[in-house]
Amino acid sequence: MAPYLKPLPQQTLVITGASSGIGLATARRAAFLGARVVIVSRNLPALEDIALELDPSGQRVLPVAADVGIREDVERVAQAAIARFGSYDTWVNNAGVAIWGRLTAGSEADYRRLFDTNFWGTVHGSLIAAQHLARHGGALINVGSITGDRAWPLQGMYCASKHAIQGFTDCLRMELEEARAPVSVTLIKPAAVGTPLLRHAHNYTGRPPQLPPPIYAPEEVAHAILHAAQHRVRDIYVGGAGRIASSVGHHAPRLTDWISEAALFSAQMGSGPASVEDSNLYRPGSAGEVRGDHGRREMQTSYYTRANLRPALPDLARRAADSAATALAERWRGGGSR
């Protein structure tokens, strides 16, 4: 059965990781457009402030504190959404944490904690939401990353979690489709996004982490998420540069390894000592901000994504990006390999 996705003003959305970054940008835009929103994070005081900002009447935005790595917490979120609004139409698994540093530098406890949030948080939210949405219809949206297609050094365990999310999401989609459940399942794949991620990252390097350009605005990811809430779509890449990097990595993996080894270590570490740690790996980090401090690097609109989401243009946009990636890969292959 094909899912029926309601117009946004008629929807109730559950958004995890909603106290900052992409989640907050999505909640703000959804509330502005008239949707009812359940905002979720570990930081209840921050959520309550955000709820008051978005909905002074207290009628359309519900803050719920939860650790998505704990299944019982996520079940409580679903129950709270149903108790307040009667149902929910879209569930967005966005909560995530990051670790910066070589894989040999970290501890197993830190890595397990990252997977609890990034992977198991997505699994808990997806399976709980799928049970409800299979009866009522709606959209399940998981926020992955281009690093789920193409790993970046210094973010190894984060990349591993995003690879796992992609495999899980693809399998769940097939199982729901085979069961004819009226659920649209979308994986969002952002490139580098200018959220407070760097401030919140658990950092082993001793130097301030940074993202390689281009850096896209968090609102671009929110735009993609809310599109997926209303339109059935399998994957959405946010950022043409990310789409090209994924395609080049597929067509010329060894050369992409060599380029990553040559460029991405220095590109992901700033100069000077790391700032005071605000890691959100084990406890809530600072909240209430959509954008982080990325120096003079301007955050960009993703014209590729905007074009790709227009009904008349998706095939053209995809073909243009794939053609560019293939041409680059063939050119690199012609130059030899390492």
pLDDT in tens, 170-198: 999 999 999 999 999 999 999 999 999 99
* Edge-to-edge strand list for the sheet holding 235-238: 61-65, 36-41, 12-16, 90-93, 138-143, 183-190, 235-238
Superfamily of the domain at 8-334: NAD(P)-binding Rossmann-like Domain (3.40.50.720)
Q: Percent of the chain at pLDDT above 90?
A: 81
**What's the mean pLDDT when you consider all of the chain?**
91
pLDDT of residue 295: 67
pLDDT of residue 293: 82
Among the ranges given (86-100, 178-192, 287-301), the one the predictor scored with the smallest mean pLDDT:
287-301
- Residue 231: pLDDT band with limits 50, 70, 90: very high
Q: Percent of the chain at pLDDT above 70?
A: 90
pLDDT exceeds cutoff 70 at 31: yes
Q: Average of pLDDT values for 186-214?
A: 94
pLDDT of residue 222: 98
User: What is the Cα–Cα distance from 122 to 115, expressed in whole angstroms?
Assistant: 10
Q: Average of pLDDT values for 97-103?
A: 97
Catalytic entry in 4, 111, 158, 303: 158
Of 297 and 324, which is predicted with more confidence? 297
Torsion angles phi and psi, residue 95, rounded to 5: -55, 135
Of 127 and 286, which is predicted with more confidence? 127
Q: Is 158 a catalytic residue?
A: yes
pLDDT exceeds cutoff 60 at 319: no
pLDDT of residue 335: 46
Is residue 209 within 8 Å of residue 198, measured between CB atoms? yes
pLDDT of residue 337: 36
Cα angle: 106, vertex 109, 112; to 5 degrees: 100
pLDDT exceeds cutoff 70 at 98: yes
pLDDT exceeds cutoff 70 at 334: no
Q: Average of pLDDT values for 42-61?
A: 96
pLDDT of residue 336: 42
Q: Average of pLDDT values for 125-130?
A: 98
Q: DSSP string covering 54-113, please?
A: H-TTSSSEEEEE--TTSHHHHHHHHHHHHHHHS--SEEEE-----EEB-GGGS-HHHHHH
pLDDT exceeds cutoff 70 at 316: no
Cis amide leading into 214 (omega within 30): yes
pLDDT exceeds cutoff 50 at 332: no
